[in-house]
Amino acid sequence: MFDASALIIALTVFVLAIFIGYEVITKVPPTLHTPLMSGSNAISGIVIVGALLVAGQADGIAGRILGAVAVGLAMINVVGGFMVTDRMLKMFRRSGEGR
């Protein structure tokens, strides 16, 4: 069994997203590259969606434990990533702006 159309749709989404990512991210100035990296750490926490799906469908104990571990790991990225990025971006100010 090989679902070729599903694979093609997924590949289309993948390729287009890479191109959009390339266009958008090349415009990020060097001064924001560290927040970009920590912010994309947070975005790669999107695997939380996958973690929720496998944890939610798990019947056996092994599946449940693996699901919970995946949820925990992904949440570290989501919460930690967004918080630390905000902490950094808060520090960036223009000349003459209040401290």
Q: How far is CA 48 from the centre of its chain?
A: 9
Q: How far is the CB of 61 from another protein (least distance, A)?
A: 9
Site for another protein (CB under 8 A): how many residues? 90
- Beta carbon of residue 66, minimum distance to another protein (angstroms, whole number): 4
Interface map 5-44 toward another protein (x if CB under 8 A): xxx-xx--xx--xx-xxx-xxxxxxxxxxxxxxxxxxxxx
d(CA 41, CA 45): 7
Write each residue from 48 to 67 as x if it is in contact with another protein (CB under 8 A), else as -, in one continuous string. Answer: xxxxxxxxxxxxx-xxxxxx
Q: How far is the CB of 11 from another protein (least distance, A)?
A: 8
Q: Within 10 Å of residue 80's Cβ, how many Cβ atoms?
A: 14
* SS3 per residue for 8-44: HHHHHHHHHHHHHHHHHHCCCCHHHHHHHHHHHHHHH
Between CA 34 and CA 30 the distance in angstroms is 8
CB of 12 to another protein, least distance (A): 10
Residues 66-95 binding another protein (CB under 8 A) are: 66-95
